[in-house]
């Protein structure tokens, strides 16, 4: 059977888009054929059918409605499946003008990938949607990343060691790279990275890249860039161009980020510290969940970027801190600013949709609202010294002129779609006003005609209706058919099961007038909208600047607001090696305790410096060691984004790198045990930390035998003291390590205080000087409900190990050892009985407990 022209057209277009599912527009549906249909049917859980044959075989086919396609496309994107949108470029009527057998012209207008999403329903509102390009040349790694939905566009140079930290910090939705040997070997080694691999170019040179990029960016600025950096920028531009997402006339050359100005946080540290989500995946129980009380989506995205890349530049930190302080000190102004910000729309994404998807009244209205609120906010903070959001007279004049025109032109509540019109104010154009009057007059005439015919025929149920096939018509129950057709001016158009539909010459005449006026008005509205759209695009860079100012204002006002309501303090931030915190608290735990109406969080001090830079923390489980470690790491992060911190007083010497090894986890996909993961992460720390770094380590060495673990932990401490010289908090159950303090003045022993009362452990959660009395592990096991015989045997074994030394021969327990331990416990129980006050029931309970020791 011969291939039909439409299927041949499909095959021709599909040949150029083998890595995407081709959404082939057929009237009101997107249809998919062959293997695309099979993939889509499975991924979307929709019916797979067939249409025609190709080379003697049935053609698999499935489809989705055009009007609801976004939901299906989102599902595919969530599964990292690319979608090529193939639209009809002309109407069937236009095709027939070229020849009776001609088919509608079609072509791909856009390829949607996980990193090039624009539609609101595709995006996570409070997060950037990042496309990242990685490039290696001349022993240098470079990266360029872009969020085409907001205008974010940056680049950076890094080394191999910092590459994964950079990727984790940016958290791209899609990562692209060439299939070169170095890229393949390094990037494939990380199982968590999903890479879109592109065929490597046959030739790459500095001059070729500059020639290519000069049509998009200033050639003089390109000449100043590193060659490898030019490669990563070229890679991302080529990818956007290939996917028909290239609109770089609205962008400047990507901002180059100096990574030494950003705190390095490796992926395991980011996860362990629960910066973005808790270990259970909850945002509300993370550091971001505590501080993200932003009012705008723009501000929320900026705050997350700052929290994941704190500054290491004192002047930048102090600048942010000054902005935060103004809002902290002026609570009334802060409330007023936040009220306005709560109404501020997502101007970044509205502008991006206008740039890439064309005119849209709702996005123009969003920009109008944003411009209006911008000037109100500017007026609100006039007296502030550090938080000015002024853009300069020229830019602000451009915005004011555009705001005035949008105010005059746009309806305040435009319809959801453009097909019905009604988004441009009638009085904006004399011509539009005239057309609307004609349309209203025709609509009035239609209603009068209905009344006239109803009276003339005596049929009160005669209704005026409209559809796209018949236009306007009168409808009445079919029982009136003969009566209606007695009148010569009516002619029959359609009969349904229960009704008859008629028209008349008069109706046709009025309909023609109404539809002509309506269509003319709609075309004029679209023309006006297009002109407004073009004017907005001409000042797109001004709107991007406005959006950035508002995002920054939102972040600073939010940090000032949460500092005030949570009683945080302004830290002294300098380039010293001090970390001095008085009354420090864990913001997430404190918030959780407050919500559950539990006891108030117990604050603790911490004091590290060049002279005493390692605290060795001992204490039993559940006493608060891990909380103490995390809270101090959080305080550093908050301080270096210009925030106040949860403490009574703080002095923070800027940390260039933050390292954490907390918790136990294995990596099954790599065949790595819990202990191997621990050793790999710790190895990374001691290889890369320096004297400006901050390290928190928890229970290092616990994944192996006692003496191996102790030896490893001891050696790590000695290495940190000798080589790294980093400020370090080291929590451990190896009490032998506390002996290090005797021989090294840079070490200080502290412990989490506990008290024993009535056979119970009382946790004070207070960090005090000195070493812990013991781990009390067996006591914790007893509180957890371990059977008495297990507790008895554990205590006996512990005593033997402590008294005789821990070698294999004398650690073997005899039956007499267990008996003796049981007798001691029985004696303790009897000694504690108050014979004068005990009740018979209590005596029976004690007797029952004593029997359980056997």
Task: Answer whether 0.75 is exceeded by the pTM.
Answer: yes
Residue 188: what pLDDT? 78
Which DSSP string corresponds to 67-129? GGHHHHHHHHHHTT--EEEEEESS-HHHHHHH-TTPPPPEEEEEEE-TTS--SGGGS-TTS--
Beta bridge partners of 490: 504
Q: What's the pLDDT tens digit per position in 511-522?
A: 888 888 888 888
Residue 1, pLDDT above cutoff 60: no
Residue 114: what pLDDT? 92
- Model confidence at 539, pLDDT cuts 50, 70, 90, reads very high
Residue 808: what pLDDT? 44
Residue 667: what pLDDT? 40
For residues 156 and 142, give the distance between their C-alpha atoms in angstroms, rounded to a whole number: 6
Q: What is the CA radius of gyration of the chain?
A: 36
Q: Which long-range contacts (CB under 8 A, 24 or more apart) does 751-760 make?
A: 751/617, 751/618, 751/619, 752/617, 752/618, 752/619, 752/620, 752/623, 752/624, 752/625, 752/628, 753/619, 753/623, 754/619, 754/620, 754/623
Of 94-108, 287-301, 683-697, the least confident: 94-108
Residue 311: what pLDDT? 97
Q: What's the pLDDT tens digit per position in 287-346?
A: 999 999 999 999 999 999 999 999 999 999 999 999 999 999 999 999 999 999 999 999
- Name every residue whose Cβ is closer than 8 Å to that of residue 506 and which is 6 or more positions away in sequence: 449, 489
Which of 748, 771, 752, 775 is closest to 763 using CA atoms? 752
Between 464 and 831, whose confidence is greater? 464
For residues 513 and 95, give the distance between their C-alpha atoms in angstroms, rounded to a whole number: 28
Q: What's the pLDDT tens digit per position in 755-783?
A: 766 666 777 788 889 887 666 666 666 66
Contact of 626 with 731, CB cutoff 8 Å: yes
- Name every residue whose Cβ is closer than 8 Å to that of residue 200 and which is 6 or more positions away in sequence: 178, 179, 180
Residue 339: what pLDDT? 97
The residue assigned the tokens 């210009």 is 642
Could you give the angle at the alpha carbon of 739 between the alpha carbons of 737 and 743, nearest 5°? 120
- Model confidence at 138, pLDDT cuts 50, 70, 90, reads confident
Which of 565, 682, 584, 696 is closest to 638 using CA atoms? 584
- Model confidence at 664, pLDDT cuts 50, 70, 90, reads low
Residue 813: what pLDDT? 47
Residue 80, pLDDT above cutoff 80: yes
CA 163 to chain centroid, in Å, comes to: 20
3-state secondary structure of 144: strand
Residue 705: what pLDDT? 62
Q: What's the pLDDT tens digit per position in 782-819?
A: 666 677 767 666 676 666 666 655 444 444 445 555 56
Residue 775: what pLDDT? 60
3-state secondary structure of 365: helix
Q: What's the pLDDT tens digit per position in 625-658?
A: 889 999 999 999 999 999 999 999 999 999 999 9
Which of 309, 266, 281, 276 is closest to 680 using CA atoms? 266
- Model confidence at 484, pLDDT cuts 50, 70, 90, reads confident
Residue 325: what pLDDT? 96
3-state secondary structure of 556: helix
**Average pLDDT score, the chain:** 87
- Model confidence at 668, pLDDT cuts 50, 70, 90, reads very low
Residue 666: what pLDDT? 40
Percent of the chain scored above 90 by pLDDT?
A: 51
Residue 266, pLDDT above cutoff 50: yes
Contact of 135 with 177, CB cutoff 8 Å: yes
Residue 408, pLDDT above cutoff 90: yes
Residue 276: count other Cβ atoms within 10 Å of its Cβ. Answer: 19
DSSP tag of 838: -
């Amino acid at each position: 059977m011969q291939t039909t022209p439409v299927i041949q057209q499909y095959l021709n277009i599909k040949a150029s888009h083998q890595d995407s599912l081709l959404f082939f527009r057929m009237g009101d549906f997107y249809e998919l054929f062959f293997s695309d249909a099979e993939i889509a049917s499975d991924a979307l859980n929709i019916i797979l059918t067939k249409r025609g044959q190709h080379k003697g075989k049935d053609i698999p086919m499935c489809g989705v409605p055009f009007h609801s396609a976004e939901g299906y496309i989102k599902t595919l994107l969530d599964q990292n499946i690319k979608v090529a949108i193939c639209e009809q470029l002309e109407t069937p009527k236009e095709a027939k003008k070229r020849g009776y057998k001609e088919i509608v012209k079609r072509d791909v207008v856009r390829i949607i990938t996980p990193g090039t999403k624009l539609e609101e329903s595709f995006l996570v509102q409070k997060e950037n949607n990042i496309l990242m390009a990685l490039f290696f040349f001349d022993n240098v790694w470079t990266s360029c990343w872009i969020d085409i939905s907001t205008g974010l566009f940056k680049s950076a140079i890094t080394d191999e060691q910092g590459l994964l930290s950079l990727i984790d910090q940016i958290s791209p939705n899609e990562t692209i790279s060439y299939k070169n040997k170095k890229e393949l070997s390094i990037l494939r080694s990380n199982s968590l990275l999903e890479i879109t691999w592109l065929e490597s170019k046959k030739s790459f040179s500095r001059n070729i890249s500059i020639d290519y990029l000069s049509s998009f960016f200033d050639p003089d600025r390109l000449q100043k860039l590193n060659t490898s950096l030019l490669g990563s920028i070229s890679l991302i531009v080529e990818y956007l161009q290939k996917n028909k997402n290239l609109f770089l006339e609205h962008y400047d050359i990507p901002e180059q980020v100096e990574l030494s100005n950003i705190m390095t946080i490796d992926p395991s540290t980011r996860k362990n510290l629960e910066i973005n989500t808790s270990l259970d995946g909850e945002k509300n129980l993370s550091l971001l969940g505590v501080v993200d009380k932003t009012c705008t989506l723009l501000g929320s995205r900026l705050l997350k970027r700052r929290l994941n890349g704190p500054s290491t530049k004192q002047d930048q930190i102090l600048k942010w801190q000054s902005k935060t302080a103004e809002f902290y000190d002026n609570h009334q102004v802060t409330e007023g600013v936040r009220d306005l910000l709560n109404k501020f729309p997502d101007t970044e994404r509205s502008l991006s949709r206008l740039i890439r998807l064309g005119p849209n009244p709702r996005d123009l209205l969003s920009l109008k609202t944003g411009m209006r609120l911008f000037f109100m906010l500017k007026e609100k903070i006039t007296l502030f010294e550090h938080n000015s959001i002024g853009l300069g007279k020229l830019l602000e004049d451009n915005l004011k002129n555009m705001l005035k025109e949008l105010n005059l032109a746009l309806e305040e509540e435009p319809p959801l779609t453009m097909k019905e019109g009604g988004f441009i104010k009638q009085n904006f154009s004399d011509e539009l006003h005239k057309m609307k009057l004609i349309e209203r007059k025709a609509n009035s005439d239609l209603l009068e005609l209905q009344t006239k015919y109803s009276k003339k025929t005596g049929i009160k149920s005669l209704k005026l209706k409209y559809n796209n096939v018949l236009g306007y018509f009168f409808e009445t129950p079919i029982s009136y058919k003969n009566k209606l057709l007695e009148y010569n001016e009516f002619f029959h158009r359609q009969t349904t099961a229960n009704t008859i539909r008629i028209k008349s010459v008069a109706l046709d005449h009025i309909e023609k007038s109404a539809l002509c006026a309506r269509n003319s008005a709609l075309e004029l509205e679209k023309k006006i909208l297009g002109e407004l759209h073009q004017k907005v695009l001409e000042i797109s860079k001004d709107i991007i600047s406005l959006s950035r100012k508002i995002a920054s204002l939102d972040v600073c006002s939010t940090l000032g607001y949460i500092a005030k309501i949570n009683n945080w303090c302004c830290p002294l931030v300098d380039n010293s090696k001090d970390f001095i915190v008085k009354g420090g608290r864990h913001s997430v735990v404190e918030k959780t305790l407050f919500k559950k109406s539990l006891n108030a969080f117990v604050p603790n001090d911490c004091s590290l410096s060049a002279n005493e830079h390692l605290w060795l923390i001992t204490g039993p489980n559940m006493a608060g060691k891990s909380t103490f470690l995390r809270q101090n790491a959080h305080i550093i992060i908050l301080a270096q984004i210009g925030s106040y911190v949860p403490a009574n007083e703080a002095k923070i010497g800027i940390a260039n790198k933050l390292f954490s090894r907390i918790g136990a986890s294995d990596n099954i996909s790599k065949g790595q045990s819990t202990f191997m993961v621990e050793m790999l992460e710790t190895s990374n720390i001691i290889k890369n930390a320096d004297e400006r770094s901050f390290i928190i380590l928890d229970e290092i060495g616990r994944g192996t035998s006692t003496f191996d673990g102790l030896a490893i932990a001891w050696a790590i401490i000695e290495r940190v003291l000798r080589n790294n010289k980093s400020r370090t908090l080291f929590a451990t159950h190896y009490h032998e390590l506390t002996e290090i303090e005797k021989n090294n003045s840079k070490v200080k022993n502290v412990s989490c205080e506990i008290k024993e009362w009535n056979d119970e452990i009382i946790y004070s959660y207070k960090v005090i000087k000195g070493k812990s009395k013991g781990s009390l592990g067996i006591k914790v096991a007893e509180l957890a409900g371990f059977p008495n015989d297990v507790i008895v045997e554990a205590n006996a074994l512990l005593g033997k190990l402590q008294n005789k030394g821990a070698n294999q021969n004398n650690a073997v327990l005899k039956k007499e050892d267990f008996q003796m331990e049981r007798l001691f416990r029985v004696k303790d129980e009897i000694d504690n009985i108050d014979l004068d006050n005990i009740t018979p029931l209590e005596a029976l309970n004690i007797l029952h407990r004593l029997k359980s020791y056997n």
